[in-house]
């Protein structure tokens, strides 16, 4: 028998899509039965009360959670988010219901052995409810009490060799796409660099020293499956400098209809036979492709590597082999000053694990030095770039301006010249001037 009536939530049990309500109910029941004989460290009925308070929100159209309060584990300023219910008397099982962020492995591969260990720990010391995964990428443990925080951290670090992720004005848990582990388009090993950077910057991840949050995301190619270009203060996007690899026989295979275009992605539409001119050559945004004597030609120098042709004919076309990544900076969601897309700062940099990604780290550290010196409280890197100017960022990183940095040159001539750029400087002699120009 359920502890709380949930007539509104019950209506979300039907329909084909997996019902979170059904799942919460099965967990509430599992805790009540306790077939594993667990000595639950937070109230057994936490999930019943979670359903109860959610039902109340569905009834009121308002949340019943209060913000934060300072909770955490000793020595860290992130990874734990305090949460309290504003109806603790009615829902004592979730009166204190803090979140813990557990740093996911790059690529989000798991063994069942490891996942079951996480489940055992979270069953025992928390609500048994998770997010797989949170928006930034972490495994989210949803709901425990303050005394359990250190215990969970101790068990994670001692028994599972596992650390917490980032929150607050820290480096947030970096995340990546599937990369070369299972994708033929990845221009670098996203998992290797994501893991390396996460380990390299543990201090920045756990101890708030930044003006605001800071995100790294690693996309193996310009398809941007982790949305780095829209979400990361620094987005790392794979690219190449040489020619797209062509298998002309496979091109003919697509033309003949032997292979489905776009890897079979359009199988259920009525699109007719594949037409290479209509679907590839004429859609190419730079017009750098043509069919000559039945052969596909690409003027690679003019290609901007948008991935369309490669996406459409994966068996015939592949990215080049002189690969690296582009760094774009300053992307963020709208708060506070409007959304920003990442802006190109480094068109190409080598990805070299053998020297610990030296060339990339150099840019990261220069950007951080600038932002930590000049950034205002709760100002993201993108907003600082807007406030102080792109040129300032070039100065601070020592990167030379180039036409790739802009979509178009400025439309106003309000150039802020530096004094040393103008011969003779800014202190022209008025007396000398007046000799030739009477008052």
Partner 1 sequence: MAFVSSGYNPKKPMENRITDIGPRKYDEFYPPVIAKNKGKWKYHEILEPGVLVHVSETGDEVFTVRVGGARLMSVTHIREICEIADKHCDGHLRFTTRNNIEFMVDSKDKVEPLKKDLASRKFDGGSFKFPVGGTGAGITNIVHTQGWIHCHTPATDASGTVKATMDVLYDDFSKMRLPAQLRVSMACCLNMCGAVHCSDIAILGYHRKPPMLDHEYLDKMCEIPLAIAACPTAAIKPAKVEIAGGEKIKSVAVKNERCMYCGNCYTMCPSMPLADTEGDGIVLMVGGKVSNRVSNPMFSKVVVSFLPNDMPRWPEMTDTIKRIVEAYAAGANKYERVGEWAERIGWERFFEKCELEFTHHLIDDFRDAAYYTWRQTTNFKF
Tell me which residues in 20-49 interact with partner 1 (CB under 8 A): 20-27, 30, 39-41, 43-44, 47
Q: Is 142:129 a contact under the CB 8 Å cutoff?
A: yes
Residue with Cβ nearer partner 1 (223 or 397) = 223
Residues 6+ apart with CB under 8 A from 347: 326, 402, 404
Q: E strands of 330-375, at which residues?
A: 343-349
CB-CB neighbours of 288 under 10 Å? 17
> Which residue of 256, 336, 372, 406 would you call a contact of partner 1, by CB under 8 A?
336
Considering only the stretches 9-17, 365-373, 390-398, 419-427, report the one whose residues sit in contact with partner 1 under the rule CB under 8 A: 9-17
CA-based nearest residue to 46, from 113, 145, 187, 112: 145
Q: Which two tokens stand for residue 423?
A: 């011969």
Of the pair 114, 291, the CB lying nearest partner 1 is at 114
Q: Which of 139, 133, 131 is nearest to 160 (CA)?
A: 139
Each residue 345-384 as x (binds partner 1 by CB under 8 A) or -, in order, gives --------------------------------xx------
Q: How many residues bind partner 1 (CB under 8 A)?
A: 151
Question: Applying CB under 8 A, which part among 199-207, 351-359, 392-400, 429-437 lies near partner 1?
Answer: 199-207
Please list every residue from 399 through 428 that binds partner 1, using CB under 8 A.
Answer: none
Stretch in the footprint of partner 1 (CB under 8 A) among 335-343, 353-361, 392-400, 425-433: 335-343
Q: Which helix (H) or strand (E) holds 190?
A: helix 190-200
Q: Which of 2, 199, 369, 389 lies at the binding interface for partner 1 (CB under 8 A)?
A: 199
From 287, 338, 353, 401, residue interacting with partner 1 (rule: CB under 8 A): 338
Structure tokens belonging to residue 68: 């934060």
Span 283-312, contacts to partner 1 by CB under 8 A: 283, 285, 305-308, 311-312
Given the DSSP bridges, would you call strands 317-318 and 295-298 parallel, antiparallel or unpaired? unpaired
**What residues numbered 153-172 form the site for partner 1, per CB under 8 A?**
153-155, 157-158, 160-163, 165
* Cβ 343 to partner 1 shortest distance, Å: 11
Element holding 139 (H helix, E strand) = strand 139-142
Candidates 255-263, 349-357, 362-370, 416-424: pick the segment binding partner 1 (CB under 8 A).
255-263
Q: Nearest approach, Cβ of 167 to partner 1 (angstroms)?
A: 11
What's the min distance (Å) between Cβ of 380 and partner 1? 12
In the complex, the smallest distance separating the C-beta of residue 24 from partner 1, rounded to whole angstroms, is: 7
317's enclosing H/E stretch is strand 317-318
CA 309, 312, 318, 322 dihedral sign is positive
What is the smallest separation between the CB atom of 420 and partner 1, expressed in angstroms?
30
Given candidates 144, 169, 170, 191, which one binds partner 1 under the rule CB under 8 A?
Answer: 191
Binding positions for partner 1, 202-231, rule CB under 8 A: 202-203, 206, 222-231
Alpha-carbon span 233 to 405, nearest angstrom = 17
Can you tell me the distance from the alpha carbon of 108 to that of 131, in angstroms, rounded to the nearest whole number? 13
Least Å from the CB of residue 205 to partner 1: 8
Residue closer to partner 1 by CB (options 262, 391) is 262
Q: Which is closer to partner 1, CB of 30 or CB of 394? A: 30
Return the number of the residue (83 or 368) whose C-beta is nearest partner 1: 83
Subset of residues 92 to 151 that bind partner 1, contact rule: CB under 8 A: 97, 99, 103-116, 118-119, 122-124, 128-133, 135, 137, 142-143, 147, 150-151
Choose the stretch contacting partner 1; rule: CB under 8 A; options: 3-11, 350-358, 389-397, 425-433. 3-11
142: β partners: 99
To the nearest 10 degrees (0 to 180), the angle between helices 381-388 and 390-397 is: 110
Taking CB under 8 A as the rule, does residue 175 contact partner 1? yes
Edge to edge, what strands does the sheet with 99-102 contain?
A: 80-81, 99-102, 139-142
Q: DSSP for 136-200? A: SS-EEEE---HHHHHHHHHHHHHHS---B---SSSBPPPEE--GGGT-TT-SS-HHHHHHHHHHH
Taking the C-alpha atoms of residue 163 and residue 148, their distance in angstroms, rounded to an integer, is 16
Candidates 59, 241, 387, 418; binder of partner 1 (CB under 8 A) is 59
Strands (E), 181-322: 216-219, 234-240, 245-246, 289-292, 295-298, 317-318
Q: Which two tokens stand for residue 148?
A: 């359990």
Please give the Cα distance from 144 to 125 (Å, whole number): 7
Distances (CA, A) of 410 to 201, 251, 284, 395, 414: 37, 42, 27, 18, 9
Q: Between 286 and 290, whose beta carbon lies closer to partner 1? A: 286
Q: Give least dist CB 4 to partner 1, A.
A: 15
Q: Please state whether the peptide bond connecting residue 133 to the residue before it is cis, i.e. omega within 30 degrees of 0.
A: yes
């Amino acid at each position: 028998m359920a502890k709380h009536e949930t007539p509104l939530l019950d209506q979300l049990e039907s329909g084909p899509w997996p019902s979170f309500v059904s799942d919460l109910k099965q967990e509430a029941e599992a805790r009540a039965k306790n077939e594993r004989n667990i000595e639950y460290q937070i109230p057994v009925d936490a999930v019943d009360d979670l359903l109860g308070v959610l039902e109340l929100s569905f009834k009121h159209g308002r949340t019943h959670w209060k913000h934060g309060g300072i909770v955490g584990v000793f020595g860290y300023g992130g990874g734990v988010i305090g949460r309290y219910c504003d109806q603790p008397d009615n829902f004592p099982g979730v009166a204190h219901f803090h979140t813990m962020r557990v740093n996911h492995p790059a690529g989000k591969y798991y063994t069942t052995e490891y996942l079951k260990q996480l489940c055992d720990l979270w069953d025992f010391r928390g609500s048994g409810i998770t997010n797989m995964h949170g928006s930034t990428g972490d495994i989210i443990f949803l709901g425990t009490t303050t005394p359990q925080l250190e215990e969970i951290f101790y068990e994670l670090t001692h028994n599972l060799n596992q650390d917490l992720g980032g929150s607050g004005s820290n480096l947030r848990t970096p995340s990546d796409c599937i990369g070369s582990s299972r994708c033929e388009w990845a221009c670098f090993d996203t998992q290797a660099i994501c893991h390396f950077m996460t380990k390299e910057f543990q201090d920045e991840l756990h101890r708030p020293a930044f003006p605001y949050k800071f995100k790294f995301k690693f996309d193996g190619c310009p398809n941007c499956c982790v949305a780095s270009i829209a979400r990361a203060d620094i987005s790392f996007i794979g690219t190449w400098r040489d020619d797209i690899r062509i298998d002309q026989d496979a091109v003919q295979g697509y033309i003949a209809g032997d292979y489905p275009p776009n890897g079979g992605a359009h199988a259920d539409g009525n699109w007719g036979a594949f037409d290479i001119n209509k679907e590839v050559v004429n859609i190419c945004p730079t017009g750098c492709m043509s069919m000559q004597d039945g052969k596909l030609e690409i003027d690679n120098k003019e290609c901007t590597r948008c991935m369309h042709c490669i996406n459409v004919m994966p068996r015939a076309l592949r990215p080049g082999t002189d690969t690296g990544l582009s760094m774009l900076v300053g992307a963020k969601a709208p708060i506070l000053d409007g959304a920003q897309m990442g802006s190109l700062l480094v068109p190409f940099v080598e990805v070299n694990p053998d020297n610990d990604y030296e060339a990339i780290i150099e840019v990261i550290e220069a950007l951080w030095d600038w932002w930590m010196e000049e950034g205002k409280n709760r100002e993201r890197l993108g907003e600082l770039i807007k406030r102080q100017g792109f040129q300032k960022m070039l100065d601070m990183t020592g990167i030379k301006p180039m036409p790739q940095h802009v979509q178009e040159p400025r439309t106003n001539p309000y150039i802020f010249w530096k004094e040393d750029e103008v011969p003779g400087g800014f202190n022209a002699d008025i007396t000398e001037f007046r000799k030739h120009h009477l008052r």
